[in-house]
Amino acid sequence: MKRPKLKKGSKRVSCAKRFKIQKKVREHHKKLRKEAKKSGIKRKLKKDIEVPNSAPFKEEVLREAEQRKQELEELKEKNRLAKQKERAEKRKAAKDGVSGAEEPKSKRVKKEEKVKAQRQARAAVAKEKSNKVFRCKELNKVIEASDVIIEVLDARDPLGCRCPQLEEAVLKHEGKKRLLFVMTKIDLVPKENLEKWVEYLKEECPTFVFKACMRIQDKTVMEKKQKANGKVDLSRAASSFGCDSLMQTLSDLSNKLESESMLKVGIVGFPGVGKSSIINSLKGIRACHAGVQRGLTKCMQEVHISKKVKMIDSPAMVAAPSSSGEKLVLRSLQVEENEASPLEAVQTLLKHCNQQDIMLEYTVPDYRNALEFLTLFAKKRGFLQKGALPNVEQAATVFLNDWTGPKLSYHTKVPERQGLPPHLTEDLVAQMQAGMNLDKMNMANVQIIKCIRCPNKASSIPFNSKNMTDGILSVSELPAVKPAVEEEEKKEEEQTENLEETEDAEEIETPESEVVQTPKPSQKKNARKRAKAKATPAHVSFDLPAAQQNDDEAYDFNTDFV
b/e map 41-58, b = 16+ CB within 10 Å: eeeeeeeeeeeeeeeeee
Please report, to the nearest 10 degrees, the dihedral formed by the alpha carbons of residues 39, 40, 45, 51 taken in order. Answer: -160
Q: Does residue 167 contact residue 178 with C-beta atoms inside 8 Å?
A: no
pLDDT of residue 511: 45
Question: Residue 9 above 50 pLDDT?
Answer: yes
* HSE-up (13 A, CA, CB side) for residue 395: 25
pTM of structure: 0.61
Which residues 6+ apart lie within 8 Å of 445 measured at CB? 198, 207, 208, 209, 245
Question: Residue 230 above 50 pLDDT?
Answer: no
517: helix, coil or strand? Answer: coil
CA 320 to chain centre: 24
* Closest residue by Cα to residue 340 from 328, 349, 352, 324: 328
pLDDT of residue 174: 73
Which H or E run contains 149?
strand 148-154
Question: Residue 513 above 80 pLDDT?
Answer: no
pLDDT of residue 529: 52
The Cα-based distances of 160 to 328, 412, 460, 500 in angstroms read 10, 9, 18, 48
Q: Where do the structural domains in the chain lie, given as residue ranges? A: 128-217+235-321+410-416+424-467, 325-404
**DSSP notation for 461-513:** EEE---SPPPEE-SGGGSPP---HHHHHHHHHHHHHHHHHHHHHHHHHHS-GG
pLDDT of residue 29: 95
Query: CATH assignment of 325-404?
Result: 1.10.1580
* pLDDT tens digits for range 436-495: 888 898 899 899 988 888 888 888 898 888 888 888 888 777 776 544 434 544 555 565
**Mean pLDDT, to the nearest integer, of 172-200?**
88
Q: pLDDT category, 546, cuts 50, 70, 90?
A: very low
* Closest residue by Cα to residue 53 from 41, 44, 45, 62: 62
Q: Does residue 436 contact residue 249 with C-beta atoms inside 8 Å?
A: yes
* Closest residue by Cα to residue 155 from 186, 123, 201: 186
What is the share, in percent, of the chain residues with pLDDT greater than 90?
A: 19
Query: Are 128-217+235-321+410-416+424-467 and 325-404 equal in CATH topology?
Result: no
What is the share, in percent, of the chain residues with pLDDT greater than 70?
A: 75
What is the 3-state composition of the chain as percent helix, strand, coil, each rounded to the nearest 5? 50, 10, 45
pLDDT of residue 267: 92
Question: Residue 260 above 90 pLDDT?
Answer: no
Which residues 6+ apart lie within 8 Å of 140 measured at CB? 473
* pLDDT tens digits for range 80-106: 999 999 999 988 888 776 544 444 556
* HSE-up (13 A, CA, CB side) for residue 377: 24
pLDDT of residue 547: 44
Q: How far apart are CA 160 and CA 330, in angstroms?
A: 9
pLDDT of residue 13: 92
Query: CATH assignment of 128-217+235-321+410-416+424-467?
Result: 3.40.50.300
Question: Residue 289 above 90 pLDDT?
Answer: no
* pLDDT tens digits for range 130-169: 577 888 888 888 998 888 999 999 999 999 899 989 988 8
